[in-house]
Structure 1
């Protein structure tokens, strides 16, 4: 079940002596589909979004708890990077070596020039473990949060922890964060 993209991630984690748990499943291009399989992983499941700035000369990977949704206008305010838009599949391939539906921070392995800056919701620091696709949406892996930070340190990419949403706020404004019910 392991493919070349999975193997690349596993080799990096093994080289760093970072333990992980992996599960294999059918392709899951959306969070809703992935949640059916993630229920067996004891971790916070992350949503990973790839953006570019208005000029197209900066790229950002944004990570947050998949139970929340961030409106792009609210995200622009919080990141303070100006107008954002989703990066094209071509940009995603160029900078992360990934395709839509498989976005993962492990794509930073392919960003040899450290072009992508990572913004991570600080609420994820409270979780003992996080889960992501290993660069392909036919598997998911769970990793200790401290080990994930160790992995980030080895990439050379800049990263910033900041509050992307307030877990105590309750709002109906679509530009703000909305909590979703992942599994009933």
Structure 2
């Protein structure tokens, strides 16, 4: 992942270049949604979880949803144009996105060549006033508007597919 050392600096430079305002919070490393609950209290707005998925045709997907969403993977395949979905391997995540489990974020698209990973964003997040994600590491969280998240992803050649994410009961 050494080629991604400067990614966080590029991330902040790109946000500034687009005139995107963000908030930031440094914190201890968090690896799960449960561990990040204390951050939710400090940063009002939508908090996320991210799924790095691979389909049976070999395509990769980075799906970002509200932290409380229980995604129905079987039902998700059709709306995102995928075949049967399963979780991607950590080594593929590192190679494609430059992040490791626990630090997955839609902002990791900055490290992915366009067309290598399909970024999928739940429609409620795309419309949210504040969406909180990791800035390529799990020791910080940044908040920005959902529309701004869509704009920066598009800048990197990863205009997200915005869909209603099917949920399990």
Q: TM-score scaled to structure 2, two decimals?
A: 0.88
What is the count of residue pairs matched by the alignment?
165
Aligned match of 1:107: 108
Aligned match of 1:119: 120
Q: Kindly provide the CA deviation profile for residues 103-132 of structure 1, in whole angstroms up to 9, marking residues without a partner as x.
A: 111111111343111111112234211110
Aligned match of 1:53: 55
Aligned match of 1:153: 154
Q: Is the 8 A contact 2:52 2:87 kept in 1?
A: yes
Q: Is the 8 A contact 1:54 1:83 kept in 2?
A: yes
Map 1:75-154 to 2 at 5 A.
Answer: 75-154=76-155
Please say which structure displays the higher CA radius of gyration. 1
- The offset of 1:13, in angstroms, is 1.5
Q: TM-score scaled to structure 1, two decimals?
A: 0.81
Q: Structure 1 residues 25, 107: CA separation in 2 closer, same or farther (over 3 Å shift)?
A: same
Aligned match of 1:177: 168
1:42 to 34, 39, 44: 44
Provide the C-alpha distance between the structure 2 equivalents of 1:133 and 1:36, rounded to a whole number of angstroms.
14
Correspondence 1:32 to 2:23: no
- The offset of 1:12, in angstroms, is 2.4
Structure 1: runs of 5 or more not aligned: 166-175, 179-184
Q: Kindly provide the CA deviation profile for residues 150-183 of structure 1, in whole angstroms up to 9, marking residues without a partner as x.
A: 1111011242111113xxxxxxxxxx424xxxxx
Q: Is the 8 A contact 2:80 2:161 kept in 1?
A: no
Provide the C-alpha distance between the structure 2 equivalents of 1:8 and 1:59, rounded to a whole number of angstroms.
23
Structure 2: runs of 5 or more not aligned: none
Determine helix, strand or coil for the equivalent of 2:155: helix
Correspondence 1:62 to 2:53: no
